[in-house]
Amino acid sequence: MVMLDEDIMRQLRATFKMEAKEHIQAMNRVLLALEDDPPEDERAELLKEIFREAHSLKGSAGAADVPEIEGVAHRLESVFSVAKSGDLELTSDLCDVLYEGIDAAEVIVATTMEGDAHGLDLPTLHRRLDAAEEGRVIAPADGPGQEASEVEALEPQGTVEDGGGAGQAAGAAAGGGRRRGGQGLAQGTEESIRVSTDKLDSLMTQAGELMVAGLKIDQRLKELEAVTHATEDWNREWLKIRAAHSQLLHENGDERIRPLLRFLNENERVLKELAGEVSDLWRGLSRDALLLSRVTSDVSEEVMKVRMLPIATVLNIFPRMVRDLARQKEKDVDLVIEGAETELDRNVLEEIKDPLVHLVRNAVDHGIEKPDEREAAGKPRVGTVTVRAYQKGSNIVVEVSDDGAGIDVEEVKRAALKSKVLPQEELEAISDEQAMQLIFASGVSTSKMITETSGRGVGMDVVRKNVEALHGHVDVDSTLGEGTITTLTLPLTLATTQELLVRVREQTFGIPISAVERIQRIEPESISTVEGKEAIIVNGQPISLVYLCDVLEMPKQEQALDPNEKIPVVILGAGRWRIAFLVDAVVGQQESVVKSLGKQLARVRNVAGATILGTGQVIMTLNPSDLLKSARGAAGKTDIAARIARSQEQEEKRASVLVVDDALATRNLEKNILETVGYDVKVAADGVEALSILQSDGVCDVIISDVVMPNMDGFELTAAVREDAKLCNTPVILVTSLESTDDKERGLEVGADAYIVKSSFEQETLLDAVRQLA
């Protein structure tokens, strides 16, 4: 056997890692399409395609010497081969097993290729896939050392010509997610090469530096133009006194003066030649600068295009995610994707992936009702979640909407009160529109119970932070009983920014043009007062007017407005908010490369970064979202966003927690996690001991309990706590291996506040639940 060089093997595995991701993505996409019950001819083509993908994955894994992926891919290939021949119908239950195999391949790629252990039970998975080839479904092992058991022996599967039969009916009854309108999710067949993203980032950085150099050249060109005009002006002055010079030269016979007069005569010739040379140099440099500007613009645009990716690269995970979550929640959800071909900068895509995941999961989990509830409300049994992307000017707009229950503003207020974001008196005073902003506060959730997928109150907070970090903004519009639309407005690219340059108190600032809705000059007498605050009327609507110097907290400087002179205002907009900012002057605009202020100044209110003008002057680029928030406070409005931020900056209360679990290892694990962040923790081995501690030591802030315990289980303990007058308001978090919907509903019935499944247990999930409930 020929042993390959280590460097060659490393390159081979790196190539395999990229190829494997493509094969896995394609199998997910095709399997979802097969579950949509396509026409017979399309179904046959899809089965051929998914068989080829599994076969290619197996071959690539063998070449790269990754036998674990090769084994899984071989079994997937066998199942698809039987289905392709018409001897196996891919029901939803069988698809669950196939998805498990695809997920396993993805985990192995992500871990084994990096030298880490994958932690998968591959023998059990192999048995499940082997059984799937025969049309049987074997349940996974419930724990270490337990054998997998066959829970459902299906009848022999019909052929493709049978049209689906009972298998599809069972799958439909179980619910699930479907996708339509997803044009553009499949990758095109253009010729391409693989290029490291680091190289693209470096190239984009150099293009940005080239643009900065071009701005400096433009500035030098202006300076040279000024020199040209100065020489021309001086030459004109000479021409005015030339006659007097000539007369003196001919009439004056003093030999001491004649050399000076001859020098002045020669100076005319030299000055004329220099003026011509400077003028020629200016014209030549102007042509060269124009060419450089055009080339720089073309290079920057082409590099940006290389970095641009269709939003489908993020959206392609959603059909599978919606399908799995819908089945888990026993809902029927139709996912509609529009504008998947819309392109964004790769860095923007990476940053919006988590916000979009949160929004789509929220739509399925919180928004869409169960089929019976929808039918009772006069809606179709199948709910619809729509993700729509489109370009609007220099921005990309992404909308995530659903036709579900909508957001109950009163529930939001109660959740905010429970999380201590705002006191009762302020909640009663704010409008519904302002209350809707509270969903972006960390810890605020309207979910009745905290689970591993919802109710922790961190999702919308992540959405807001990520979007605003990109200098974008998020807007939510919801109608109770009809649904919710969340709109993300994002910059097309982070590489360069068109900025409006304004002057305030002798300082120049940049404002991204994408946020500027209007620039106009107003007369001082047009400033009116609305509800005691200054405003101007634009298109018949009042818009709050604030002084940018006040928003930026610059030193006060009394300056009377000349009633006969118009003053410039810049109107910024985000979502439904419009505010006019009064500035001293609008200087102009330029395309800039905005630089970060560094880790020490990673988050400075109202400031997005710094940029360099052609003169070499460094100016601050302002953050439009922050400006609007600060301005709303300056305009006298209740700035809910600012209150949310202040509430989150306050030091967290350290609660007392009682951990109840019959397993010593689990008790110690949870105790250590909680004590590490400063909570006071007591432990109990079962419900009886827990009640004894509560009755003797007094009420604690939170109870964390297992369900399956001797003497008194978690459900009985929760019910006993709710029946005790002293303990009834104590939050209870159930952490258990029971993950069925019936168990979760029973937890809700007995009064649990959170239900966390151990199989998907994460440290942060538990801490989030305690922070929210304590």
What is the per-residue DSSP string for 566-592?
-EEEEEEEETTEEEEEE-SEEEEEEEE
Residue range 431-448, pLDDT digits in tens: 777 777 777 776 666 555
Cβ 733 vs Cβ 450: under 8 Å: yes
Q: Does the global pTM surpass 0.85?
A: no
User: Which residue type, as a one-letter code, is found at position 170?
Assistant: A
How far the first Cα of the chain sits from its last, in Å, is: 63
Whole-angstrom distance, CA of residue 404 vs CA of residue 486 = 13
For residue 607, the tally of other CB atoms under 10 A from its CB is 17
- Sheet with 383-392, strands from edge to edge, namely 176-180, 332-338, 383-392, 395-402, 483-491, 473-479
Contacts of residue 673, defined as CB under 8 A and 6 or more positions apart, other chains included, come to 763, 766, 767
Question: What pairing do the DSSP bridges indicate for beta strands 585-592 and 541-547?
Answer: unpaired
pLDDT at 374: 92
Rounded-to-integer distance, Cα 726 and Cα 97, Å: 48
Of 456, 328, 366, 333, the C-alpha closest to 739 is 328
Identify the pLDDT of residue 368. 92
Apex CA 732: angle with CA 726 and CA 737, to 5°? 150
Mean pLDDT per 10-residue segment, the chain (774 residues) = 54 77 88 88 90 86 82 90 88 89 89 76 89 84 43 36 34 41 44 68 73 76 82 77 66 65 74 80 82 78 77 86 88 91 84 87 89 92 93 85 88 76 74 76 60 51 78 85 90 73 87 83 79 77 84 69 76 77 84 66 72 75 80 52 46 71 81 82 90 82 88 90 86 82 81 77 74 72
Q: Which of 480, 442, 487 is nearest to 366 (CA)?
A: 480
What is the C-alpha to C-alpha distance for residues 244 and 232, in angstroms, rounded to an integer?
20
State how far the alpha carbon of 116 is from the alpha carbons of 79, 111, 387, in Å: 29, 5, 35
| Res 142: pLDDT | 41
The Cα 308–Cα 343 span in angstroms is 6
- Residue linked to tokens 């620039």: 519
Over its C-alpha atoms, the chain yields an Rg (Å, rounded) of 34
pLDDT of residue 158: 35
Which pLDDT value is given to residue 6?
65
Query: What is the C-alpha to C-alpha distance for residues 355 and 488, in angstroms, rounded to an integer?
Result: 9
| DSSP sequence for 722-770 | HHSTTTTTS-EEEEES--SHHHHHHHHHHT-SEEEEGGG--HHHHHHHH
What are the angstrom distances between the C-alpha of 276 and each of 228, 272, 280, 387, 633? 9, 6, 6, 63, 59
Contacts of 5 (CB under 8 A, 6+ apart): none
Sign of the torsion angle spanned by Cα atoms 675, 680, 684, 686: negative
- Give the pLDDT confidence score for residue 173 in this predicted structure: 33
Contact 80, 154 (CB under 8 A): no
Residue 473, token pair as written in the block:
């903004």
Structure tokens at 362: 């929220």
CA dist list (Å): 13 to 17, 192, 194, 249: 6, 19, 14, 89
pLDDT value for 334 = 92
Burial-class residue 768 by CB neighbours within 10 Å (0-12, 13-18, 19+). buried
Residue identified by tokens 């871990």 is: 111
Q: Residues 299-338: pLDDT tens digits?
A: 777 777 777 888 888 888 888 889 888 988 889 999 999 9
Rounded-to-integer distance, Cα 751 and Cα 731, Å: 9
Burial class from Cβ neighbours inside 10 Å (0-12, 13-18, 19+) for residue 688 reads middle
- Pair of tokens at residue 377: 């409300």
Closest CA to 311 of 286, 337, 290: 337
Q: At what angle do helices 40-63 and 67-85 cross, to 10 degrees?
A: 160
In a 3-state reduction of DSSP, which class is residue 399? strand
DSSP state of 123: H
Residue in the block written with tokens 């071909």: 341
Q: Which helix (H) or strand (E) holds 673?
A: helix 664-676
Work out the number of other CB atoms within 10 angstroms of the CB of residue 209: 11
Identify the H or E element spanning 479. strand 473-479
695: helix, strand or coil: helix
How many residues are there in the chain? Answer: 774
**Cα–Cα–Cα angle for 270, 271, 273, rounded to 5 degrees:** 65
CB-count burial class (<10 Å; 0-12, 13-18, 19+) for 520:
middle
